Structures are given as structure tokens and as C-alpha cells.
Amino acid sequence: MTVKLTYHGHACFSIEGAGKTIWLDPFLTDNPQADVQVEDVKDADYILVSHGHGDHLGDATTIAQQTGAMIISNHEIASYSQERGAEAHGLHIGGGYQFPFGRVKMTIAHHGSSFPDGGYGGNPGGFLFDVEDKRIYFAADTGLFYDMKLLGEERAIDVALLPIGDNYTMGPDDALRAVQLLTPRLAVPMHYNTFDVIQQDPHAFAKKVKESTGANAVVLSPGESIDL
Ligand code: NI
Ligand code: MN
């Protein structure tokens, strides 16, 4: 069975594998890059939410309500989602849990996590998780940190989804260093060109990854998929 990864712009992806559909940071409404509208999302079994910012929490509770999907996030965002009628599972940094599609571990992210209304959204995170036999690292919003080296050590990462936008997260140079630390098979850039302050050339980033690391890199347009 192949695991299919689809980009939806900004930091939003969907993954099909293990008979499930898993969404990452489903920011569709007000996302100028989104290729789908929230009301058209019919297939969702799990939604991973990295932090409380509006461009990541996004439409998570709406999708959960309309599909019955379970939200997986930190404890505070899980509670927030449950209060809004969604099924949710709370993790905390360093903790993992075995879900039907694979194990999900919450990893550190150096960022913020307030809710759109200013409320406390707990600690921001990323996710290191498995879908079938594929290992995926979703860095979410973060600056570069040296502990990324640990993430690729226990088992090889098949794909690393890395922000390159700069300003709010790593820029392309630090994302390149992240690839060197993580040593994934494949790197996919995200969190760029959505807003004026995060304009980047993802193809230049991909070229540098291929030239100066052992990894491959693929730039996905919104709506585009690859088989991992
Ligand atoms: Ni953020
Ligand atoms: Mn963001």
C-alpha cells in the first residue's frame, strides 16, 4: 500500500494511508493558497494540530464536526476542541500514542500557540509519526533547533515537512540546516508565499537541498500529491 501526501497550501496537508485520511493543520478558510474549501472536506479520520494560531488550528473543529474526525494536538487544544463538540486526543511534548494508522509523537517547536481569541493554547509542537511503514516529520512552525538531530536517529525519516517562509519560522537557510540534521529521504517545503512577509522561492530551496544534502526535495503546488 502506498501512502499518499497532498499539499493544500501553507502548512496544510492530507495523508491517505492505512485506510485512513489524516489532515495536518487544516487552514482552508482565509488561506489564499487552499485548493479545497472546508465544506468540501468529506474524508477526514484524524486531524493533527500543531498549535493554536489561526493559520494552523484553522478549520479543525469544523472539519471534525462535519466528518467525525478526531483531533490530535496538545492537551489545551484537545480540550478546546472537545468543548466545541469534537472528539480529541491530547498529547504533550515528548509523548506518543499508538493510533490505528501508526504512532504519533509530539515534538518540540520554538514558537507561540495562543488561540485566535488570545486564549492560552499550550505549547506549540510538531509531530513525528508513522503511517503504515512511512515515517513523517511535520515540523510545523518553528525555528531551527539542534535536537532535530535526535528525531532522525531512532529510525530514518521518509519525509520532512519543513517551513521555509522566514519571519515567523525558519527561513530557507535554516531549513537547509534542518535537512542536514534530520537526514530525511525527502524534504517538502511549506509555510511560504501565503502572506507578503513569507515570500520565498521553494525551487531554489529544493535545489540547494539536492545539491548539498543526501536528501531529495519536492515542491508541491496546492492540490498536488505524491506517493511516499
Ligand atoms: Ni504559528
Ligand atoms: Mn504559521
Distance 53 CA to ligand 1 centre (A): 5
In a domain, 227, yes or no: no
Q: Which ligand is the nearest neighbour of the Cα of 190?
A: 2
Distance 127 CA to ligand 2 centre (A): 15
Query: What value, to the nearest 5°, has the Cα angle with vertex 93 and ends 86 and 13?
Result: 55
Distance 141 CA to ligand 2 centre (A): 6
For the chain, 228 residues long, give each residue's pLDDT as a single digit of tens: 799 999 999 999 999 999 999 999 999 999 999 999 999 999 999 999 999 999 999 999 999 999 999 999 999 999 999 999 999 999 999 999 999 999 999 999 999 999 999 999 999 999 999 999 999 999 999 999 999 999 999 899 999 999 999 999 999 999 999 999 999 999 999 999 999 999 999 999 999 999 999 999 999 999 999 999
Q: Is residue 202 within 8 Å of residue 217, measured between CB atoms?
A: no
Domain region containing 84: 4-221
CATH code assigned at 160: 3.60.15.10
Q: What distance in Å separates the CA atoms of residue 210 and residue 163, rounded to the nearest whole number?
A: 17
Q: Which ligand is the nearest neighbour of the Cα of 10?
A: 2
Residues 85-89: contacts with CB under 8 Å, at least 24 apart: 85/61, 86/60, 86/61, 88/64
In a domain, 131, yes or no: yes
Burial of 74 (0-12, 13-18, 19+ CB in 10 A): buried
Q: What distance in Å separates the CA atoms of residue 143 and residue 147, rounded to the nearest whole number?
A: 11
Distance 85 CA to ligand 2 centre (A): 24
Q: Is residue 228 within 8 Å of residue 2, measured between CB atoms?
A: yes
DSSP 64-99: HHHH-PEEEEEHHHHHHHHHTT-EEEEE-TT-EEEE
Distance 64 CA to ligand 1 centre (A): 21
Distance 112 CA to ligand 2 centre (A): 9
pLDDT of residue 154: 86
What amino acid is encoded at 161 in this protein? L
Q: How many domains does the chain have?
A: 1
Distance 29 CA to ligand 2 centre (A): 14
pLDDT of residue 1: 72
Q: What distance in Å separates the CA atoms of residue 221 and residue 193, rounded to the nearest whole number?
A: 11
Q: What distance in Å separates the CA atoms of residue 40 and residue 8, rounded to the nearest whole number?
A: 13
Distance 2 CA to ligand 1 centre (A): 30
Q: Which ligand is the nearest neighbour of the Cα of 165?
A: 2
pLDDT of residue 156: 97
In a domain, 226, yes or no: no
Q: Which ligand is the nearest neighbour of the Cα of 198?
A: 2
Q: What distance in Å separates the CA atoms of residue 192 and residue 199, rounded to the nearest whole number?
A: 6
CA torsion sign for 204, 126, 71, 31 is negative
In a domain, 109, yes or no: yes
